[in-house]
């Protein structure tokens, strides 16, 4: 039915008619504002995963998040998502923030049994990303979950050793705000490995990746003008150098650069170097 045309309609609307018109307008507005259901699907071999949720555009809020996993055509896992860890307020799909699927299936540990990977964001100015990995366990248990919090960064999967096993490449979020504002902070490369349901940091095993990262940080640090702090960039570079076994040489270089004004920021030379040494020791780089 075509919508009623009110053009040229000047007659007074009776109360009952006005109520019907007003009620119809409210129902139409409610229908327009109703949260829209979404479903993302992924399949690999005998494993299929469906991540469903609703999205309230007016409130910019997601709800009803549920993950269902089928294996060999049988549902082995189906549950609504719990609240995000560490006080996050809303489990938001990666699809809306990183323009990639929220749910995927990948054999992370190369054992022939693929894991279901769910990438989420819990809200905030730029934090935080987290991933729920679902691993199949023989028997009645079905799937067990491992949750890993990335922080301000997500990750990429890369088979760095070309052995069919995926590494997860990210950045060390602990460097955020440590030596400068977030915009001026930089973060050393961090590589993790997923095996038997747990994550292990294996960055030091990939010297070529560390050297590549250190080179990029070095060039950025020295190209920055004095009007912008480079102390956060140098801190990330120093962490890379320490992972390569060059911590002593790195601090010799930092001291030389500081004395000649090539390192600049909020902290004085002595305060910066003291803080950097303590920070790298506390975070396990020294």
The architecture that CATH gives domain 36-154 is Beta Barrel (2.40)
pLDDT tens-digit series, residues 18-56: 333 343 443 344 445 567 789 999 999 999 999 999 988
Q: What is the pTM of this model?
A: 0.83
Q: Are 68 and 52 in contact (CB under 8 A)?
A: yes
Percent of the chain predicted with pLDDT > 70: 87
Write down the domain spans for the chain: 36-154, 167-286
CA 33, CA 9: separation in Å to the nearest integer? 28
Q: How far is CA 170 from the centre of its chain?
A: 9
Q: Does pLDDT of 281 surpass 80?
A: yes
Residue 199 forms beta bridges with which residues?
194
Secondary structure (DSSP) of 70-106: EETTEEEEEEEPPPPGGG----EETHHHHSS-SEEEE
Report the DSSP pairing between strands 142-151 and 129-137.
antiparallel
Q: Does pLDDT of 241 surpass 60?
A: yes
Q: Residues 246, 241, 184, 283: is their CA dihedral positive or negative?
A: negative
pLDDT at 33: 59
């Amino acid at each position: 039915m075509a919508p009623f045309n009110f053009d040229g309609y000047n007659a007074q609307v009776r109360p009952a008619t006005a109520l019907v018109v007003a009620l119809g307008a409210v129902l139409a507005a409610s229908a327009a504002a109703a949260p829209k259901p979404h479903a993302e699907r992924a399949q690999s071999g005998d494993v299929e995963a469906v991540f469903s949720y609703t999205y309230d555009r007016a409130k910019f809020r997601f709800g009803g998040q549920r993950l269902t996993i089928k294996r060999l055509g049988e549902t082995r896992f189906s549950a609504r998502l719990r609240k995000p860890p560490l006080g996050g307020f809303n489990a938001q799909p990666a699809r809306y923030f990183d323009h990639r699927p929220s749910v995927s299936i990948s054999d992370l540990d190369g054992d022939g049994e693929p894991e279901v990977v769910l990438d989420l964001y819990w809200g905030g100015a730029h934090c935080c990303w987290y991933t729920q990995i679902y691993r199949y366990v023989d028997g009645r248990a079905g799937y067990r979950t491992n949750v890993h919090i990335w922080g301000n960064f997500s990750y990429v999967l890369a088979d760095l050793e070309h052995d069919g096993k995926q590494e997860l490449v990210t950045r060390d979020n602990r460097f955020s705000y440590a030596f400068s504002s977030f915009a001026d902070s930089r973060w050393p490369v961090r590589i993790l490995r997923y095996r038997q349901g747990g994550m292990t940091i294996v960055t030091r095993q990939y010297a070529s990746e560390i050297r590549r990262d250190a080179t990029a940080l070095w060039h950025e640090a020295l190209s920055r003008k004095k009007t912008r702090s480079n102390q956060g960039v140098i801190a990330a570079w120093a962490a890379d150098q320490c992972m390569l076994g060059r911590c002593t040489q790195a601090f010799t270089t930092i001291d030389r650069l500081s004395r000649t004004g090539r390192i600049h920021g909020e902290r004085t030379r002595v305060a910066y170097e003291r803080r950097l040494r303590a920070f790298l020791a506390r975070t396990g780089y020294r």
